[in-house]
Amino acid sequence: MKILLLEHPRDIKPCQCNDIANTPLSSCLLTGYAAGMLQSEGHEVEIAEGYLDGLTCQEILQRVDSMRPDILGVHIIYQWKADLELFGLLETVRNQGLSGHITAYGYYPTFAFDEILHGCRAVDTVIAGEPETAFAHLARAISRREGCGHIPGIAQRSPSGEIRFLPRKPVEDLNLLPFPVRTGAMFRIPEVNLLGSRGCYGGCTFCYVSPFYGPGAAWRGRSPENIAAEVDKIIYDRGAKNFYFTDPNFFGPGRMGQERALSIASLLKPRNISFGIEARVNDIHDETIGALVEAGLRHMLIGLESGRDQSLKRLNKMTTVAQNERAVKILRRQGIEPNIGFIMFEPDSTPEDIRTNLEFLQRNELLNNLPVTANVLYHHQIILKGSTAYQNLHMEGRLKTPYPGAYEGTAAFSDPGVAALARVMRGITNHLFIRMNGIWGGKEAEPQGAAQKYSRINSLLVKWFLDILKTLESGEQLTPAETDEFVEKSKEKINLILG
């Protein structure tokens, strides 16, 4: 069968600068893994990189028309809006008879298959959770002209219009999966993305990684040998030397996870590569990090999330402030300056929470780099469908969504002072993100005297944050007009410095 997999075009909304909040970084390989599995089943598979190649809807239609695939699979990435343009494209494909079957997959479809199947009649099925096995079974059923209602992991409409879905168990042995297919566009990214494991053993309220794989899904890791074999293939085929593990949790749980990481390090070290990883703070240990650094570890993201134990408990992080500080110290001791995940503003944050967070960041010298400072001083809790936070706020009647079935919801801050501070910092930092987008994205040259300018703006961000916080702590309240005026004056100051 002929199968076309589409990474659809999407625009990043200026006020939503964190594209990874759309979907975990690990999802960048969903299409590649699906393609690898389908090719192993003997199907003719092509990938259309609508996003990375900047394809227009008309160009995608031409691609579909040229191939006339038996199945068009669409990896739907949520982009903070009802994607009427994408659904309109799929309706055109259906109306013109350009594909026999249209299916969707990804994080958004997994949690919103009801809304997609009811809202876009052009979509025949939705693959929920890991796509590889379900997609292969779907293709097999279609090739045999069989129904697919019996296939676990596939959601579809019944003749009466009801949505039918049978959950599928996650793949137990990831070593059995074919390596993902990578397009030329993916190799234009500075680092080659790898996925060494799936899932997470944590249960953070804001996270929707584990729910994607299904209730009770455990963390699963590929063997170090299997990972090394893929690295070798990429080096042989492309000569690539820079990699990034997109695992939400590179380390597995406990001692087993540490021993596995040490084995990975021992296999990667002779290959003379560099790589980055993401991990929980409780998995950061000197011996393991030291071995990984010797093997080429250069970048690391850790989810600190808060500098207050009460907040960490609210978020169900199952970590402590002491562990956060210990992890930062270990990484720096091993020569790694960590990139951090941090939630400054939760819906139920108090001024005391905010003050403690600020002091934690200052105490641990995490406000000395402009991109990091700008991120952590504004970052609010993103409430995504599939997460415990989304469900809880919905049951409490506090969740607000821009349209029915929206993937992201919001909740008003319970403290008006925190709301005012969040409004100010979001306005200022969004302006900065927009101004710096080309530079931080590597598309524009840095301004003359960049280091000095960035240092001045960095100091101002901390000062502005502290000034507003002190005002709130004194018992004063800021009106919306006052916060808007503060934001505008701050933006003018940033513009003056950057020139």
Chain centre to alpha carbon of residue 290:
27
Contact 105, 77 (CB under 8 A): no
Q: What is the pLDDT of residues 402-429, one digit of tens each?
A: 887 788 899 999 999 999 999 999 999 9
Give per-residue burial for 275-299: e unless 16+ CB within 10 Å, then b. Answer: bbbbbbbbbbeeebbbbbbebbbbb
Looking at the DSSP bridge assignments, the partners of residue 192 are 243
Residue limits of CATH 3.20.20.70 in the chain: 190-342
CATH top class, domain 2-165: alpha beta
What CA–CA distances, in Å, run from 300 to 14, 253, 258, 284, 292? 26, 18, 16, 11, 11
Model pLDDT for residues 42-92, shown as the tens digit of each residue: 999 999 999 999 999 999 999 999 999 999 999 998 766 667 889 999 999
Mean per-residue pLDDT over the chain, rounded: 94
pLDDT tens column, 141-188: 999 999 888 899 999 999 888 999 999 999 999 999 999 999 999 999
What confidence tens digit (pLDDT) does each residue in 363-398 have? 999 999 999 999 999 999 999 999 999 999 999 999
- CATH 3.40.50.2300 intervals, the chain: 2-165
Tell me the per-residue pLDDT of 94-119, one tens digit each, with 9 for 90 and over: 999 999 999 999 999 999 999 999 98
8 A C-beta contact, residue 68 and residue 99: yes
Distances (CA, A) of 94 to 49, 65, 117: 20, 11, 14
- Tokens for 248, please give them: 């939400």
Q: Quickly tell me which residue has 């069968």 as its tokens.
A: 1
**Tens digit of each residue's pLDDT (9 = 90 or more) over 226-254:** 999 999 999 999 999 999 999 999 999 99
Question: Can you give the pLDDT at residue 80?
Answer: 62
Report how far apart, in Å, the C-alpha atoms of 217 and of each of 47, 169, 212 are: 29, 8, 9
Query: Taking residues 181-202, what's their average pLDDT?
Result: 96
State which CATH number among 3.20.20.70, 1.10.630.10, 3.30.70.2860, 3.10.129.10 fits the domain covering 190-342.
3.20.20.70
**SS3 call for 340:** strand
What pLDDT score was predicted for residue 83?
A: 74
| pTM score, whole prediction | 0.94
User: Is pLDDT above 90 for 35?
Assistant: yes
The pLDDT of residue 21: 63
Q: How many CA atoms lie within 13 A of 166 on its CB side?
A: 7
Question: Tens of pLDDT along 255-295?
Answer: 999 999 999 999 999 999 999 999 999 999 999 999 999 99
The alpha carbon torsion through 275, 276, 277, 282 (nearest 10 deg) reads: 110
Q: 171 near 103, Cβ under 8 Å? A: no
Cα–Cα distance measured from residue 133 to residue 152, given in angstroms and rounded to the nearest whole number: 9
